[in-house]
């Protein structure tokens, strides 16, 4: 998250805080922010949730610019030392602070090179590596935009990064555009950059002005003004898992609202399940990420969706992004509770976004059977995950992924479900592309106005974007094993 404001306008610290708080789901280990206040950079980093990390006094600083980050551990342990932003220093003494989303896959090779040149790292984190690389490259290149241009040929992997140098913020996104990065003008004359558009909603920005930072793009923000050093191009491999699970449903990611993509996944999944409507059947979702997929399944099959069939505690954290199995298991117990009113004696179509290790969904199915469900059919909004991610999502090793341990038939038995349906890869791909005739008919029934949206309106721009989206360009590597970049031979970020 980055905020740059015109001189004397508001507090970038408070606005960065609002944006970070909205994006809490992207990282729950800890949070960090650097602000520029009276010619000084002030840094605050702590383990914990955003609301716990920043005291009131911090938000009152009259800072003109700020960068911040919520950490979810992929590269390096979930420790205070690995919290971002990280700092590096150029030869002429300028300090560079960096916050980044994504994993650098040639991390170890680059780190070894820099260590040989005398850099002393304080963390195991990619953002520190990026900060030192940019410091090093700017010593050679003479300017930060040129250093960021060179960075693209030095680094492989994913980065959606912001760099604070003095009062200026530089923004850079890798040429594959794995992780989302968006920018928007603010009502107070400032400009903000974030992973997800929901960060701008809370700042009162106009959704029609939200724009993607294009893949390979390089921007500079200074006192609320933006300079484009590199326009960049279409992303070569945006992460499909952002649409399926990672991003919040009310965010527009890679130009398309996640809630719409998930609803379409649900329609496809309902169709592909071949399930025939019966009486005494309900659709339940594993909340919250599968809610929209379940809504789509229910609409397609004409079965009631019981939105509170599984109630999620709102003080619970996201279990997928927890590093330890023990915490994930405990998390499920505290996080979810079935409402027997709707479950006892019913056939349950349980909808989830993905199956990774299989343990969480197994516990949920047991919960439903204990609550009296006659039988449980499991519908999953992504194909089986068989390959680890190296570009910023902490999936486990190949061996730990349940899809590589047992056949789908055996998994069905282990999970004690009457049937198990994963959406096909083709079905998943189509969810961000042009609407099919069947989907148009569905919209005509549900929300005719969606299809009649004039060009230039928000909905009109969504429809145009769907028409233009080349769905073959997304990264689907965790389902297919076809990685768009070279992958380290022995695990994470070599």
Q: Is 43 helix (H, G, I), strand (E, B) or coil?
A: strand
CA dihedral 286, 288, 294, 299 (to 10 degrees): 150
Token readout for 9 is 């306008």
Are 447 and 458 spatial neighbours (Cβ–Cβ below 8 Å)? no
Q: Does 240 bind ligand SF4 (CB under 6 A)?
A: yes
Q: Kindly tell me which residue out of 99, 261, 297, 393 binds ligand SF4, with binding defined by CB under 6 A.
A: 393
The angle subtended at Cα 72 by Cα 69 and Cα 74, nearest 5°, is 120
Choose one: 40-48, 183-191, 237-245, 311-319; the region binding ligand SF4 (CB under 6 A): 237-245
Q: Between 132 and 241, whose beta carbon lies closer to ligand SF4?
A: 241
Query: Hey, which residues does 282 pair with through a beta bridge?
Result: 348
* CA R_g for the chain: 23
Closest CA to 215 of 202, 243, 234: 234
Q: Between 74 and 90, whose beta carbon lies closer to ligand SF4?
A: 74
Which residues fall within 8 angstroms of residue 303, CB to CB, at 6 or more apart?
Answer: 277, 281, 282, 283, 297, 349
Q: Does 391 bind ligand SF4 (CB under 6 A)?
A: yes
Q: Kindly tell me which residue out of 1, 389, 403, 411 binds ligand SF4, with binding defined by CB under 6 A.
A: 389
Interface positions, 93-122, toward ligand SF4 (CB under 6 A): none
48-to-14, 126, 314, 436 alpha-carbon distances in Å: 18, 20, 16, 44
Choose one: 35-43, 308-316, 454-462, 472-480; the region binding ligand SF4 (CB under 6 A): 472-480
Q: Kindly tell me which residue out of 165, 239, 286, 428 binds ligand SF4, with binding defined by CB under 6 A.
A: 239
Are 107 and 157 spatial neighbours (Cβ–Cβ below 8 Å)? yes
Q: Does 476 bind ligand SF4 (CB under 6 A)?
A: yes
Q: Does 423 bind ligand SF4 (CB under 6 A)?
A: no
Residue 111 half-sphere exposure, CB side, CA atoms within 13 Å?
Answer: 18
The Cα–Cα gap between 275 and 190 comes to 51
Q: Between 28 and 101, whose beta carbon lies closer to ligand SF4?
A: 101
Are 492 and 75 spatial neighbours (Cβ–Cβ below 8 Å)? yes
Q: How far is the CB of 319 from ligand SF4 (least distance, A)?
A: 17
The Cα–Cα gap between 260 and 250 comes to 9
Beta sheet of 160-165, edge-to-edge order: 86-89, 95-101, 160-165, 168-173, 218-222, 225-230
The Cα–Cα gap between 267 and 261 comes to 10
Q: How far is the CB of 57 from ligand SF4 (least distance, A)?
A: 38
Q: Between 54 and 178, whose beta carbon lies closer to ligand SF4?
A: 178
Q: Between 169 and 389, whose beta carbon lies closer to ligand SF4?
A: 389
Q: How far is the CB of 360 from ligand SF4 (least distance, A)?
A: 17
Q: How far is the CB of 52 from ligand SF4 (least distance, A)?
A: 28
Q: Between 114 and 239, whose beta carbon lies closer to ligand SF4?
A: 239
Token readout for 108 is 């170890």
Q: Between 54 and 320, whose beta carbon lies closer to ligand SF4?
A: 320
Interface positions, 311-370, toward ligand SF4 (CB under 6 A): none
Q: Is 87 helix (H, G, I), strand (E, B) or coil?
A: strand
Based on the number of CB atoms within 10 Å of its own CB, is 486 exposed (0-12), middle (13-18) or buried (19 or more)?
exposed
Q: Between 23 and 281, whose beta carbon lies closer to ligand SF4?
A: 23
Q: Between 33 and 130, whose beta carbon lies closer to ligand SF4?
A: 130
Q: How far is the CB of 484 from ligand SF4 (least distance, A)?
A: 8
Q: Between 365 and 389, whose beta carbon lies closer to ligand SF4?
A: 389
Q: Does 182 bind ligand SF4 (CB under 6 A)?
A: no
Q: Does 241 bind ligand SF4 (CB under 6 A)?
A: yes
What size, in residues, is the chain? 494
- DSSP output for 279-322: SSEEEEE-TTTTHHHHHHHHHHHT--B-TTSEEEPTTPPPSTT-
Q: Between 101 and 285, whose beta carbon lies closer to ligand SF4?
A: 101
The Cα–Cα gap between 174 and 155 comes to 9
How big is the site for ligand SF4, counted in residues (CB under 6 A)?
A: 11
Q: Between 245 and 275, whose beta carbon lies closer to ligand SF4?
A: 245
Q: How far is the CB of 239 from ligand SF4 (least distance, A)?
A: 3
Q: How far is the CB of 151 from ligand SF4 (least distance, A)?
A: 19
Choose one: 41-49, 222-230, 313-321, 476-484; the region binding ligand SF4 (CB under 6 A): 476-484
Q: How far is the CB of 388 from ligand SF4 (least distance, A)?
A: 8
Q: Does 401 bind ligand SF4 (CB under 6 A)?
A: no
Q: Is 278 helix (H, G, I), strand (E, B) or coil?
A: coil
Q: How far is the CB of 100 from ligand SF4 (least distance, A)?
A: 15
Q: Is 53 helix (H, G, I), strand (E, B) or coil?
A: helix
Q: How far is the CB of 251 from ligand SF4 (least distance, A)?
A: 16
Q: Kindly tell me which residue out of 54, 178, 200, 342 binds ligand SF4, with binding defined by CB under 6 A.
A: 178
Q: Kindly tell me which residue out of 127, 186, 477, 485 binds ligand SF4, with binding defined by CB under 6 A.
A: 477
* Residues near ligand SF4, by CB under 6 A: 178, 239-241, 389, 391, 393, 475-478
């Amino acid at each position: 998250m980055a905020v740059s404001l015109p001189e004397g306008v508001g507090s970038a610290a408070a606005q960065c805080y609002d944006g970070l708080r909205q994006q809490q789901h992207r990282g729950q280990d800890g949070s960090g922010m650097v602000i520029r206040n009276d010619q000084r950079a002030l840094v605050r980093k702590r383990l914990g949730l955003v609301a716990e990390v920043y005291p009131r006094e911090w938000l009152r600083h009259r800072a003109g610019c700020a960068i911040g980050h919520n950490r979810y551990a992929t590269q390096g342990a979930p420790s205070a030392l690995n919290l971002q932003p990280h700092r590096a220093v150029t030869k002429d003494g300028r300090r560079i602070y960096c916050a980044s989303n994504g994993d650098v896959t040639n991390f170890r090779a680059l780190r070894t090179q820099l260590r040989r040149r005398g850099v002393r790292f304080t963390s195991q984190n990619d953002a520190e590596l990026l900060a030192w690389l940019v410091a090093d490259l700017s010593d050679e290149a003479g300017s930060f935009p040129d250093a960021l241009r060179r960075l693209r040929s030095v680094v492989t992997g994913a980065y959606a990064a912001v760099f604070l140098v003095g009062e200026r913020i530089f923004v850079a996104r890798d040429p594959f555009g794995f992780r989302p990065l968006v920018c928007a003008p603010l009502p107070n004359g400032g400009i903000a950059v974030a992973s997800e558009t929901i960060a701008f909603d809370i700042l009162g920005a106009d959704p029609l002005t939200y724009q993607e930072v294009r893949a390979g793009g390089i921007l500079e923000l200074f006192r609320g003004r933006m300079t484009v050093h590199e326009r960049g191009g279409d992303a070569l491999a945006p992460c499909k898992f952002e649409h399926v699970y990672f991003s919040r449903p009310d965010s527009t990611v890679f130009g398309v609202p996640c809630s719409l993509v998930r609803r379409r996944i649900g329609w496809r999944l309902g169709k592909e399940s071949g399930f025939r409507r019966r009486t005494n059947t309900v659709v339940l979702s594993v909340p919250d990420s599968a809610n929209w997929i379940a809504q789509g399944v229910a609409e397609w099959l004409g079965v009631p969706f019981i939105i509170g069939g599984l109630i999620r505690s709102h003080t619970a954290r996201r279990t997928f992004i927890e590093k330890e199995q023990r915490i994930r298991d405990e998390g499920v117990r505290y996080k979810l509770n079935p409402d027997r009113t709707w479950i006892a004696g019913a056939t349950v179509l349980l909808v989830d976004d993905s199956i990774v290790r299989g343990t969480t969904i197994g516990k949920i199915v047991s919960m439903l059977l204990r609550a009296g469900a006659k039988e449980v059919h499991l519908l999953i909004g992504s194909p089986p995950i068989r390959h680890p991610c190296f570009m910023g999502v902490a999936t486990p090793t190949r061996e730990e992924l349940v899809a590589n341990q047992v056949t789908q038939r055996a998994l069905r038995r282990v999970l004690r479900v009457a049937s198990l349906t994963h959406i096909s890869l083709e079905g998943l791909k189509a969810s961000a592309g042009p609407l099919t005739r069947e989907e148009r008919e569905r919209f005509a029934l549900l929300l005719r106005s969606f299809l009649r949206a004039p060009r230039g309106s928000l909905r009109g721009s969504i429809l145009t974007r769907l028409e233009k989206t080349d769905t073959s360009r997304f990264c689907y590597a965790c389902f297919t094993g076809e990685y768009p970049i070279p992958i380290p031979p022995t695990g994470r970020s070599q």
